[in-house]
Structure 1
Amino acid sequence: MSVVPDRDVALVDLLDRLLTGGVVITGDITISLADVDLVHVSLRALISSVETLMERET
């Protein structure tokens, strides 16, 4: 098993990597009262650069 040395990554570099590849964030929220589900919200967000989306479209 190889050990990867710790590297400092700047926030700008991390954000650039995320936008280049794209990221999908999903989540579910359920509000219930007395074990009865009243509201269920499903959230999905795609975060990507416009350039990446245009390349994948063609």
Structure 2
Amino acid sequence: MTTALAPSSADDPLAYRPVALVDLLDRVLATGVVISGDITLAIAEVDLVRISLRALVASVGALAPPEDAG
């Protein structure tokens, strides 16, 4: 399964390069990504509950500090 990336500009020759979903997932896990969002529950324009959500998605190898060889 491949996904075509949206073009960033008309001059970019790699704008329509197909990317496999596995390659995209590998890149995300290697570098990590933060997903955040806010949810607000309100009645009559009065905020009752506000929830902030943050999630870090990365592989353990990307987050672990490198071990010393010596």
Quickly name the TM-score band, shorter chain normalised. Answer: 0.7 to 0.9
Structure 1 unaligned runs (5+)? none
Comparing 19-28 with 3-12, greater Cα deviation is found at 3-12
Q: TM-score under structure 1 normalisation?
A: 0.86
Matched, 1:25 2:31: no
* Larger Rg, first or second structure (1 or 2): 2
Q: TM-score under structure 2 normalisation?
A: 0.73
Which of 34, 41, 49 is the matching residue for 2:59?
A: 49
Relative contact order, CA 8 A, sep 6+: which one is greater? Answer: 1
Deviation at 1:44? Answer: 0.2
Deviation at 1:55? Answer: 3.1
Bigger fraction of residues in helix? 1
Matched, 1:10 2:10: no
Structure 2 unaligned runs (5+)? 1-9
Question: What is the identity percentage for the equivalent residue pairs of Structure 1 and Structure 2?
Answer: 57
Deviation at 1:28? Answer: 0.4
Query: What CA RMSD, in Å, does the superposition of the two structures yield over aligned residues?
Result: 2.0
User: Structure 1: which 4+ aligned runs deviate by more than 4 Å?
Assistant: none
